[in-house]
Amino acid sequence: MTTSQDFHHHLGQELQAIRDSGLYKAERVIATPQGAHIRTVAADGTVREVLNMCANNYLGLSSHPQVVEAAHQALRTHGYGLSSVRFICGTQDLHKTLEARLSRFLGTEDTILYAAAFDANGGLFEPLLGETDAVISDELNHASIIDGIRLCKARRYRYKHNDMADLERCLQQAGAEGARYKLVFTDGVFSMDGTVAQLDAMRSICDAHGALLGVDECHATGFMGATGRGTHEHRGVFGRVDIITGTLGKALGGASGGFTSARREVVELLRQRSRPYLFSNTVAPVIVGASIAVLDLLEGSTALRDKLADNTRHFRKAIAAAGFDIKPGEHPIVPIMVFDAARAQQLAARLLELGVYVVGFFFPVVPKGQARIRVQLSAAHERADLDRAAAAFTQAGRELGLVP
C-alpha cells in the first residue's frame, strides 16, 4: 500500500466506527426556502411536505418578504462580493451602518462584524487576555467559545453548568492565583436545554470579584427580553454586560455572519488583532443590507417576538398536557425528554412519517441516558401548526409507549 492508500483506508475505518456507534450525521436535503412548511427530499427520492420544528428561525425572518427585498436592494446598490478583508477594501457604508445599529440594539458602544459567530468567539479571547489573566467558563459553553479560549494564553477555569457557587469558587481561585484581569464567559441560552444564564446573579458575583462578564447571545438576540434585545434585557442587566457575541445566522434572518459588541476599546483592539477579522473575508453586502432591515423590523415592533413567546407558551402547555416530560422554562427551545437514544430516534422517525420534522439528540451531544427531541418554535408557526405537531407527538408517543 502507498502512504496515500493507507491514509484513506484509515479514514474509511474511522468513518465506519462512527457509523457503528450510531453517531453518523447525515444531511437532510430541503428543496424550498426555510420556513414553517418545507419540502424534504430523501436519498431514495421520496419527497415530503413537513412542518419544520428544528430551525433556528426563531422570528420567521429567514424568508420574510421585507428581508428578502432588502437583500435584493443591497445586491443592486452594493454588488455581490467585495473580494477583500475589511481593512483593505472590504468596508462599505452598509457595514458601518450595521455595526452602529447592532450597538444601539444591544446597548453597547461599538460592534465588529465577523464571517460567523464561530469566528467572533474564536477571535475574541487571544487579543484581549494574556498569560497573567484568567478566563472562567461554563462547562457547557458552545464549542466556539471552548476553541477561542484554547487559542489564548490566559489561565482557564471551568465551573459546573449554571452553578453560581462553583463560579464563585473559580473566581476565588483565580484571584488567589494572582490573575490580573478575570473574564467570566457564558452562553446566554444553552442550546440543548434552553437554559437561560443567570446574568443578573452573574453580574453581582463578577462585581464582587472584580471580574468582567461576557455572553454569547446566539440563541437570544432578537427575541429574549421584552423588546428582544437579548438575555441581558430578559435578566434586567441591559447595558451591564461587558462583552456580547452573537450571530446573524439564527433569529436575525439566518443567513450567516457574527459579531462582537462591547466597549469602544475592546472593539478597536479586536480590529487590530483579532485573527478571523484580519485574515478572512468581509461579510457580503446582501447579508449586511438584509440585517439592517431585520433591525428596522425588530425596533419598529415587538410583534414577532411576542408571537414567538405566545407560541412557546402554547406548545409547552400542549405537550406537557399530553404527558410528555419536558424541561421546564420559557425559551422556544423545548427539550422533550425520551432518555433512551434508540427510542428518541424512533420517535423522530415516526414524527417525520406523520409530517413533523424534529431531530433526536443523544450522547455525546447530551449526557448518556438524557436523549431527547429538541423542538424549536418560531414566529412563522401558526396555532394550527402547533396543534398539529402536538397531536402528532401524542400519536407517536402513544405508539412507542412514552405517554398514556
Question: Where do contacts with ligand PLP occur on this chain (CB under 6 A)?
Answer: 116-118, 121, 142, 144, 187, 191, 216, 218-219, 247, 249, 258
Given the residues 95, 182, 232, 250, the one annotated as active site: 250
Rounded to whole angstroms, the Cα distance separating 299 from 301 reads 6
Helical residues (DSSP H) of 160-240, grouped into ranges: 164-176, 199-208, 231-234
Q: Is 274 among the catalytic positions?
A: no
| CB closer to ligand PLP, 253 vs 360 | 253
Q: At closest approach, how far in Å is the CB of 376 from ligand PLP?
A: 11
Q: Does an H or E element contain 156, and which?
A: strand 155-159
| CB closer to ligand PLP, 7 vs 279 | 279
Could you tell me which of 309, 323, 284 has the C-alpha nearest to residue 379? Answer: 309
User: Within a 13 Å sphere around the CA of 211, how many CA atoms are in the beta-carbon half?
Assistant: 29
Q: At closest approach, how far in Å is the CB of 95 from ligand PLP?
A: 16
Specify whether the CB–CB gap between 51 and 36 falls below 8 A: yes
| CB closer to ligand PLP, 188 vs 397 | 188
Helical residues (DSSP H) of 252-336, grouped into ranges: 264-273, 275-278, 285-300, 303-321
Q: What is the 3-state secondary structure (H, E, C) of 37-102?
A: EEEEECCCCCEEEEEECCCCCCCCCCCCHHHHHHHHHHHHHHCCCCCCCHHHHCCCHHHHHHHHHH
Given the residues 78, 219, 232, 307, the one annotated as active site: 219
Could you tell me which of 324, 325, 321, 329 has the C-alpha nearest to residue 377? Answer: 329
Given the residues 191, 274, 291, 378, the one annotated as active site: 191
Query: Cβ neighbours of residue 403 under 8 Å, at least 6 residues apart?
Result: 322, 323, 324, 394, 397
| CB closer to ligand PLP, 249 vs 397 | 249
| CB closer to ligand PLP, 99 vs 385 | 99
Q: At closest approach, how far in Å is the CB of 73 from ligand PLP?
A: 23
Q: Is 219 among the catalytic positions?
A: yes
Q: What are 297's three cell numbers?
A: 423590523
Rounded to whole angstroms, the Cα distance separating 35 from 350 reads 21
Specify whether the CB–CB gap between 267 and 111 falls below 8 A: yes
Q: Is 250 among the catalytic positions?
A: yes
Q: At closest approach, how far in Å is the CB of 298 from ligand PLP?
A: 18
| CB closer to ligand PLP, 332 vs 397 | 332
Q: At closest approach, how far in Å is the CB of 3 from ligand PLP?
A: 35
Could you tell me which of 343, 351, 355, 346 has the C-alpha nearest to residue 395? Answer: 351
| CB closer to ligand PLP, 146 vs 403 | 146
**Angle at CA 194, nearest 5°, toward 378 and 400?**
80
Q: At closest approach, how far in Å is the CB of 177 from ligand PLP?
A: 28
Q: Residue 342 gets which letter from DSSP?
A: H
Rounded to whole angstroms, the Cα distance separating 220 from 131 reads 31
Q: At closest approach, how far in Å is the CB of 45 from ligand PLP?
A: 30
Q: Which residues are catalytic?
A: 191, 219, 250
